[in-house]
Structure 1
């Protein structure tokens, strides 16, 4: 029943098509939006690193350092080491894009400091999600090759952990963006007429997480389809 997949014919790839289209669009959107507002300086004249350190200070967070990391759009908050890592264009940039991204990462640090439940929940399943993403496909396709239903089931369950991680990531990212806009505008880092640009940057970035989540969900549906889950007759 599984031979078509090993002869190069796999009709289930069509399940991924909507997610692939959204992923390509989201990547193009975030790159174009970031590039556009990277050229518009914020009136306050501070760098992304300056703003990040000041936001952390004003929120009573003194144990998180701000460092520069390599790569473009490689910014992230490391909760284990309590380090805010900013890409060169954000760390030393004085643009609205740089301030928006820096504030977003500060949003994660504030979430961590406050014990924000969705972030804690997401972080708690990281080890399981990593195992799931690494082991799911090998086990699934070994089960497919050998026609062992138990391995198919284990592979699907493991991949479900990775999907769960993506689902938890969405509210965490949107909350961090909301915090970023509120603190930048509320504490005078940007003027009211600069808010639109910051929101555009953060919304474009958020779309990449939506695309990643959709891709994970669609991939799970594809694995279920390959395993014949939707063709079972339980009558």
Structure 2
């Protein structure tokens, strides 16, 4: 058997998926840079928009914190805090407004019990185990000719794929909630401001699609390697 990391399945399946993921990541970074130069007419900052959205949805208890970096924004449900990056927190750009609203969308999802996010939260611990152990188990199993270890690795990595699959509706729903709020509450003006925020969030959503494709390619690769070993 060829060395695991340079088998032809890797070049045939994984490399194209990684290239797609790289393009998606470049696209979101490019969109963020572009629309970080477009300010909103009302002069709202990312923090102000986030606080308004949270308070409007009765989430007065959810705190907003500033974190270092760019595109490091996230919602931490365990501590009820929306963390906004340096590039978003005090920025008045439409990119920053879109990102801040998106993270608040996740806070709202948790508050209303959005079903996909419940599933994602429930399988996080298993996913963490799977992402750590799946490939080592599969590799050892392939080298030692131990089908049970290979199968265990495939099952664990399948859970990672399920997690990423469930992540798609969670992310796209959060963006949909964000865009709806930005227009309904007249935070952004129609036209360039709204289009900029939408393009930014769409580009971000596509990175999750690319991540899923990459994981599916890796899973298929494991299955093909296991079948080839059995043959």
Name the structure 2 match of 1:12.
9
1:60 and 1:39 map into 2 onto residues whose CA distance is: 32
Deviation >4 Å, runs of 4+: none
What secondary structure, in the 3-state scheme, does the structure 2 residue paired with 1:46 have?
coil
User: How much has 1:188 moved relative to structure 2?
Assistant: 1.0
Name the structure 2 match of 1:214.
213
Name the structure 1 match of 2:60.
62
Name the structure 2 match of 1:185.
183
Q: How many equivalent residue pairs?
A: 229
Q: Greater shift after overlay, 83-92 or 11-20?
A: 11-20
Give 5+ residue unaligned stretches, structure 1.
none
2:52 and 2:33 map into 1 onto residues whose CA distance is: 25
Give 5+ residue unaligned stretches, structure 2.
none
2:16 and 2:109 map into 1 onto residues whose CA distance is: 32
2:213 and 2:200 map into 1 onto residues whose CA distance is: 21
The 8 Å contact of residues 87 and 96 in structure 2, kept in 1 or not, is answered as yes
The 8 Å contact of residues 69 and 87 in structure 2, kept in 1 or not, is answered as no
1:39-78 alignment runs, 5 A limit: 39-78=37-76
Name the structure 2 match of 1:36.
34
Name the structure 2 match of 1:79.
77
What secondary structure, in the 3-state scheme, does the structure 2 residue paired with 1:77 have?
strand
User: How much has 1:232 moved relative to structure 2?
Assistant: 6.4
1:1-235 alignment runs, 5 A limit: 3-5=1-3, 9-13=6-10, 14-193=12-191, 194-228=193-227
The 8 Å contact of residues 130 and 160 in structure 2, kept in 1 or not, is answered as yes
1:60 and 1:9 map into 2 onto residues whose CA distance is: 53
- Once the two structures are superposed, what CA deviation does each residue of 1:169-221 show, in whole Å capped at 9, x if it has no partner? 00000000000000011001011112111100000101110110111111100
Query: Normalized against structure 1, the TM-score is what?
Result: 0.94
User: How much has 1:116 moved relative to structure 2?
Assistant: 0.4
29 and 146 in structure 1: CA distance in 2 versus 1, 3 angstrom threshold: same
- Once the two structures are superposed, what CA deviation does each residue of 1:17-70 show, in whole Å capped at 9, x if it has no partner? 331121111011001110000011111101101100010001111111000111
Cα RMSD of the aligned pairs, angstroms, is: 1.4
Query: Normalized against structure 2, the TM-score is what?
Result: 0.96
